[in-house]
Amino acid sequence: MLFFKKDGSHEPSFDEQLLTISVEVKRYLISKGATKEDAEDAVQNTFYKMLILTDDLSPRTIRAWFYRVAMNNLIDMKRREKTGKRLVKQVFDADDSSQKLDVNWLERDQLVQLLTELKEEYREILMLKYYYELSYEEIGTVLNYSEHNVRTLLYRARKAARILLEEEDK
pLDDT tens, position by position, 29-85: 998 888 899 999 999 999 888 888 777 777 778 888 899 999 988 888 877 665 433
Residues contacting residue 84 through CB under 8 Å, at least 6 positions apart: none
Question: How many Å apart are CA 77 and CA 158, to the nearest integer?
Answer: 33
How many residues comprise the chain? 170
Q: Which fold has domain 90-170?
A: Arc Repressor Mutant, subunit A (1.10.10)
- pLDDT exceeds cutoff 90 at 133: no
Give the C-alpha separation, 85 to 35, whole Å.
12
Cβ contact 24:71 at 8 Å: no
What are the structural domain ranges in the chain?
A: 11-89, 90-170
